[in-house]
A and B are shown apart, each in its own frame.
Chain A
Amino acid sequence: MADQKLTIAGRSFGSRLIMGTGGAANLAVLEAALVASGTELTTVALRRIDTTGGTGVLDLLSRLGITPLPNTAGCRSAAEAVLTAQVAREALHTDWIQRARRSSRSCVALTYFQRGGCCLTCRSESCTSSPTKNSTWLLACCLG
């Protein structure tokens, strides 16, 4: 299992570990963690741009050859999750989204994604299961 590549929608990754970018004190710490992990796929959040701060995390991931995987962190409703997915597709040129589930309302967003494309990876729960508050599952979907 450990030697198997992770393949999603026909795209293979040498590492099966998907990292996040939250929690690191600064980009240097984040870079060290990403390099040490060997990950090739890492989640990012989407927020209003800070015109004084630049897009450091994207530049970092690009330099390390790591694919950014946008997530829906912070979304409070299905509508926000769908809008975030649309924004991510435009900003990052990807049809993938990692959905961070916060409430039952977000399940509608998941259903929407499944209709539009294919549910590829779902960890520990079925897509139609009753949601647990604040639980998170990992879900990569290609939006058709």
Chain B
Amino acid sequence: MKVTVNDEAVELDEQTTVAGLLETLGIPDKGIAVAVDWTVLPRSQWELPLADGAKVEVVTAVQGG
């Protein structure tokens, strides 16, 4: 299946979870938040499988303000 992560297309195995996606992309799970289809996903739901076509946003703190 195909999802987008921060507007970049990513090909994944079926039933890939958010946690699996982060691991695949080498993104550390500390200090980040994940939104799927514009809804912030609590960490307790990171083991749920992503749907084909899901739009995933991974956000962290940066310098600013």
Which residues of A are in contact with B by a Cβ distance under 8 Å? Answer: 20-22, 24, 30, 43-49, 51, 54-55, 57-58, 68, 70-71, 73-74, 83, 86-88, 90-92, 98, 100
Contact = CB atoms under 8 A, between A and B. Distances in A.
A73 B65 contact: yes
B26 A55 contact: no
Interface in B46-65: 57-65
Contacts, number: 93
Contacts of A22: 63-65
Interface residues of B, number: 25
B59 A44 contact: no
B1 interface: no
A91 B59 contact: yes
Contacts of A91: 31-33, 59-61
B59 A87 contact: yes
Interface of B: 6, 25-28, 30-35, 38, 40-43, 57-65
Nearest to A23: B63
Contacts of A43: 64-65
Contact of B63 (A30, A49, A92): A30
A43 B64 CA distance: 7
Given A71-B65, A90-B34, 8 more contacts: A30-B63, A45-B61, A47-B60, A55-B28, A55-B31, A55-B60, A70-B61, A92-B31
B60 A46 contact: yes
Contacts of A45: 61-65
Nearest to A58: B31
A87 B26 CA distance: 20
**Lowest 8 A-B CB distances belong to which pairs?**
A45-B64, A91-B33, A90-B33, A71-B65, A44-B61, A43-B65, A73-B65, A21-B63
Nearest to A91: B33
Contacts of B42: 90
